[in-house]
Amino acid sequence: MEAVVPTEITAELTQILSNLVLGDNEIRSNAEKAVNERLAHTPELYLLALAQFAIAADTEVMRSFSLVLLRRLLFRPAPQSNQPPPNPTHPAPKLTLYDHLPSQTLTTLERLMLHSLSHEPAPSVRRKGVDTVCDLASQGMLRGRPWHALQAQAFSMTQVQGGAGDEGQAGVGATALRESAYRVFAGCPNLVMDLQTDAVLGVFQRGLQDGYSVEVRHAALLASVAYLTAADSNQLAQSLSLLYPMLDTLPTLAQNLSAAPSSGSSPTSNYHHLSTFLSALTPLCSTHPTLFAPHLSSLLTFLPTLILPPADCGPTPTVGRPFPGNGRGGSGSRQGAFVFPLPGEASSSSGRLGSASTPASPGFAGQVEVEDVSDEEDQRQTLRLSALEFMITLSEAKPGMVRKVPGWVEVVVRACLEAMGEFDDGEGEDGAESLEAWLHDDPSANSNSSETDSPPALYEQSLDRLACAMGGRSVLPPAFQYIPSMMASYDWRVRHAGLMAIAAIAEGTGKVMQNELGKIVDLVTPMFADTHPRVRYAACQCVGQLCTDLEEVIQERYHQQLFAVLIPALDDPEPRVHSHAAAALINFCEGVERDTLLPYLDPIVERLLKLLNPTGDPTQVRRYVQEQAITTLAMVADASEATFMKHYSSIMPLLLNVLRNADGPDYKKLRVKAMECAGLIAIAVGRDVFRPDSNTLVELLIRIQKSPVDPADTQLGHYLIATWAKVCQALGQEFEPYLPVVMPALLTTASAKADISVYDEDEEKFEEREGWETIMMDGQTLGIRTSAIEEKCQAFETLVIYCSTLGPRFAPYLAQTLEVTLPALKFYFHDGVREACSMLIPMLLASGKTSSTLTNQMVSATFHQLINCVSTEYDASFLASLYKCFTDSIRVIGGPAALPHEFQEGIIEATKRQLQLLADRRKGRANRAASMPEGGEEKEEMSLLEEIEDFALEDIGKMLAMFDTNHPLLVAVSGVKDLGFNTWDSEEEEDN
């Protein structure tokens, strides 16, 4: 292609790009500066040079790099000098380099990219080119610049005939051209949204039925999904027929999963392809689940063969491998949790992948290397998870629809239960090496993350999601068709899976599960005596989860049975088990009545003290066990309240000893747990019992607070603030002497600004930063460091505790606290900060009034800020808090008569504005709701919004009534309540 920039520019850019990909930081940094300088002076010249380089560079690496760099540079914000002046009322999106390019330059750029699209021979570079073309097209159309040439070329490329060996344009393979065309439609569906629907459907159908290339069919499927997702209701109604060829791409791949490989092909490629096809369809399950309604029965004819494990064609597991070691679910894995086929089921491949189609059959096994079998197992596991995700997503999106399909829920439940017992248990027939590693692993560290990402854990999460979506009536019967027999299995993995399954479904099925809770408790409690430690661990997990999901119900009815197994489990010989039993006790105590706990208090505390301060070899002490024991002691103390007093003298000295001696990074978690526990015990036993040790604890906290800051210890500040607050609650007004110690740091934390970064590049890249959250505000992508905001919120919540506890004794810090609190009412980055401030303000005013330190300036500043916030607030939930704060503040200063007239007028004007806004919103919703179908999710969301607004209207009414019980605006409040569609009706769920 003819050059569009001078050769010297191309030569210079070649050198710059070569330096950018080098590993030397200094050279790369200088190259980045060079790029920025060239773009600042002659952006069009160097962007065109970059596009030309993407075509003409000698290596694939440099062509790919050029395309990626071009895509990033085109749409990054232009220099500040080229930005329009700010308009606070209507903030405009930032202009990019693309916006400053002349039309002629854009035309040339588009021509170069079209040439790359049709002439690039390397598949990896073509993918980068398609991404850049899609961005260029999408951004152009957003700015009113259609790209008709791309539309025409893409349609032309879909019509190129031939297979991989046939050359299309400029020597590029015909299938490669077709694939790229459909990927363009997938990445930029707006290219076809204004065309005749029948013509678009015809093009997509041709791609979905491509006889030469599975990659073309996959690209066409992606394009079809993107089109249906972006289509309006009329286009969607005309496009229903497209689902047939889209779904027809699946059975062909499913039927040939294990076919003998043809020359030059991968023997397991269809496992991968079918996974990608299902993954491409899954987003459509969320956005338009009803499209699948006519096809559910057909899908159910082959999806079970994908999500259920393959049949074991060898000897029975007990004979062949009494303690199977490999459990990935592939051909070499153990038999599943159940015996297949079940009575009444056919043994043909229609029920599942039978022996004829399993890759382990003798005719196929000899054709692949051993390592290929492992790859096949991994690909098969990926396919199972992809198919399951498809079914779960559809179930979550439209539970009522799939509930009507016989067998749908049953097969998903069965598949999850099967796979939850498929552990890859390491080497050895009994998995001894893996068990030993698990027993010695520290669960408090990040080393066990592989467990949560393992296939059994993923299937467990899927079962949890299904239960939450479908409810107990649908999930419990098929689940308990298998779970009792699983608990009696010879294989510990299956027993483990049965317990974890009960824990997984408890949340979603709790309302129905209550009716059979006694049977479930009888099923679970014997497992605490199981011979395998991982099963005993799972029993602790199961009971702990049941105590959370069926809180108070299970504790009230079955506390005797549960305490009878949980308390002895604290003496389990394995640290991981007795530590998890202590964790389960926390869940139990959170929902137990104090009187219920008291008879068991002594044996619980006795055993926890043994875990905290064990006898024997100190080198064998597990720190995570001590940490858990301290945490559980804190919860038990909190639940038992003053009754815990008898154990105070045994525990508090141990905790103080930990705080004295647990120095260093290895003990940071133990130290903060001890701080938390000491504070909770102090509250539980009360001021008189705690007083003798209060000075010692305070001195230790001061020492810890003054110690050098460890940047890696991100939790210490949080726990310090929380523990000081607990000491304040325990000591009451006797805490006053310690205010000078805690207030300076607390006020500094409360006044901290949000740590914000404006993100201008790829959002995906930014989201990888740990501890940061991405939000959209005023047309910009902002990154906020969440830990700093959470600390700010905690600081205000602690100020609430100090002020409410100390009352007038908090007066020395009244002015400083008010100065920090009033502006934070507009801290829009964290709702918790604003809510805490709205609670704190009336308390501060009360402290000032009772101590005679409240000034007119403080009152004036407070009501001025409150009225300003009420006038501009758009969040109905916080608006209610603001009106409550305003009403409580008026009561503190002496009622409406004490409020200056200017503020009375100000709040009435602000209220009129809010009533008008609420009325307008409700009218708008009523108009939208009139055209919506009954029972839609959007309609339910709108109803919930109106319910939240009703709370705000109630608080507005209370404030107005305080001024005048017959205030004219009270009629307006009633009128706004009557607006909208008001269809919210808390119908009983089906499970009730």
**Bigger pLDDT: 980 vs 532:** 532
* Statement: residue 759 has pLDDT above 80: no
For residue 785, the model assigns a pLDDT of 67
Which range (32-41, 241-250, 342-351, 409-418) has the least confidence? Answer: 342-351
Q: How far is Cα 634 from Cα 673, in angstroms, rounded to an integer?
A: 9
Max mean pLDDT range (17-26, 162-171, 228-237): 228-237
At residue 66 the predicted structure's pLDDT band, cuts being 50, 70 and 90, is confident
pLDDT tens, position by position, 615-659: 766 666 788 899 999 999 988 888 888 888 889 999 999 999 999
Q: What is the DSSP track for 922-978?
A: HHHHHHHHHTSPTT-HHHHHHHHHHHHHHHHHHHHHHHHHHH-TT-THHHHHHHHHH
Average pLDDT (796-823) is 95
Please tell me the predicted confidence (pLDDT) of residue 258: 57
- Which pLDDT value is given to residue 754? 74
pLDDT in tens, 911-920: 999 999 999 8
Calpha distance 396→450 (Å, rounded): 26
Side chain identity, residue 988: E
pLDDT confidence tier of residue 330, bands split at 50, 70 and 90: very low
Report pLDDT digits (tens) over 274-312: 899 999 999 999 999 999 999 999 999 888 988 887 654
Continuous segment of H or E residues that includes residue 849: helix 831-850
Q: Is the pLDDT of residue 244 over 50?
A: yes
Predicted confidence at residue 92, as pLDDT, reads: 46
Q: Of the spans 532-546, 595-609, 740-754, which averages the highest pLDDT?
A: 532-546
- pLDDT at residue 334 tops 70: no
435-459 confidence digits (pLDDT tens): 888 888 888 775 455 567 788 889 9
Identify the pLDDT of residue 27: 73
C-alpha to C-alpha distance for 865 and 824, rounded to whole angstroms: 10
Contact status, residue 398 vs residue 370, Cβ threshold 8 Å: no
Give the span between the Cα atoms of 967 and 960, in whole angstroms: 6
From first CA to last CA, the distance across the chain in angstroms is 71
Q: Which range, of 321-330, 493-502, 974-983, averages the lowest pLDDT?
A: 321-330
Cβ neighbours of residue 95 closer than 8 Å, sequence gap 6 or more: 77, 78, 82, 83, 84
Q: Are 769 and 755 in contact (CB under 8 A)?
A: no
User: Residue 773 above 60 pLDDT?
Assistant: yes
Among 431-435, 685-689, 711-715, top mean pLDDT goes to 685-689
Answering whether pTM is above 0.75, one says yes
Look at 437 and 581; give whichever has higher pLDDT.
Answer: 581
- Please state, rounded to an integer, the average pLDDT across all residues of the chain: 82
Q: Which of helix, strand or coil describes residue 314?
A: coil
Residue 116 has pLDDT above 80, yes or no: yes
pLDDT of residue 355: 30
> With 90 as the cut, is the pLDDT of residue 717 above it?
no
Q: Residue 990: what pLDDT? A: 42
- The pLDDT tens digits of the residues spanning 458-509 come to 999 999 999 999 999 999 999 999 999 999 999 999 999 999 999 999 999 9
CB 73 within 8 A of CB 97: yes
